[in-house]
Amino acid sequence: MPAYDHAFDWVRRHVDAGVLPTAVLGIATAEGVVALDAFGGASVDDHYPLFSVTKPMVGLSALQLIEQGRLTAETPLARAVPEFGADRDDVVRLRHLVSHTSGIIEPPMDTPGLRSLLVAPGRDFAAGTVSRYSTIAFEGVAALIEHAGGTPWGQAVAAVGERVGATGFTLDAEASHHEVVDAAGQGLDYEKFASLRHPGAGLLGRAEDLLAVGSALLRNDGSIVSPVTVEAMLRPLTAGLPKLEPYRESRGQDWGFTWNLRHSAQGLLARDTYGHGGWAGAEFWITPSRDVCFVLLTNIGGGFTRLGADADELHNAVAAA
């Protein structure tokens, strides 16, 4: 679609320059996919590791259980993991887990034994007092999903996608033939990490899967969660809290129910953009005021911003179109 030429040119330039090893860019409105292309030898239907784009998909699974009366944002983690927090004088609840305010000590992403890491003694800070980005907290979200819903978290996430025809979400790393470039150089043993099937970062998917989810959320027709739930999931949960690296106050965002709410980002044209990024460069963002969402899938360990690329340029090219 010619209106989005600048966005696709942005991706093409960065692939040609070697910043992005390969890439797929897709754009959708409430009516569905309007533009989709692949670069660097990729195909539009390729699977890519999503890394932390996993988080909002897990969040949607938890929100469905809230709608069913099986959880609330106030449900304590100890309900599903009784051994959690034995040495803590605070209560970690679902809302803390999904908003990076749980205070659970964060290990390297490829560390095995996720449940033992979740219940390890000590804390970073008291729950609800500070925001520091956390991936291990989503092991807690997964535990609550499985306890309340009775099915493995991966199946719950797959069911979210299937409601809107997104059938490609998987935890099988073999689904993607795109090596995560320089993963080891950026401190990640990808093979070890992939074996964990991490609920904070382990999902793989195709551009069309995320676009189907984004399009449904733009329609806000209840096909994934109800409109009142969408309103709740976009309510800032970290407003007024101290924000530690890497998401300091200067980045102009808050955390909603797993979503990054970029309401004050100085580089963006739009103020209602929400979504999430992933460690290997995946980007999934929704801007309701412009009736648009976009997905960028790529495979550069540590993300492309470390190589000087600015994702806000892509955001603006999509929003302005």
Q: What is the DSSP letter of 163?
A: T
**Cβ-defined contacts of 303-307 (< 8 Å, 24+):** 303/277, 303/278, 303/279, 304/14, 304/19, 304/20, 307/19
pLDDT, position 2: 75
Local structure of 44: helix, strand or coil: coil
pLDDT, position 1: 59
pLDDT, position 109: 98
Query: Rounded to an integer, what distance in angstroms lies between the CA atom of residue 321 and that of residue 317?
Result: 6
Cis preceding-peptide flag for 2 (omega within 30 of 0): no
Query: Rounded to an integer, what distance in angstroms lies between the CA atom of residue 275 and that of residue 233?
Result: 11
> Which residue is associated with the tokens 């605070």?
90
Query: Rounded to an integer, what distance in angstroms lies between the CA atom of residue 193 and that of residue 107?
Result: 12
pLDDT, position 68: 98
Q: Does residue 198 contact residue 135 with C-beta atoms inside 8 Å?
A: yes
The segments of the chain whose pLDDT lies below 70 read 1
Spans of all domains in the chain? 2-320
**Within 10 A of 104 (CB to CB), how many other CB atoms are there?**
30
pLDDT, position 305: 96
**Within 10 A of 249 (CB to CB), how many other CB atoms are there?**
14
Distances (CA, A) of 157 to 48, 54, 72, 96, 313: 16, 9, 18, 20, 31
Listed in sequence order, the residues at least 6 apart from 27 whose beta carbon sits closer than 8 Å to its beta carbon are: 1, 4, 7, 33, 34, 35, 36, 211, 292, 293, 294, 295, 318
Instruction: Kindly report the pTM of this predicted structure.
Output: 0.97
Local structure of 233: helix, strand or coil: helix
Interior CA angle at 315 toward 313 and 318, to 5°? 110
Q: Which CATH class is domain 2-320?
A: alpha beta
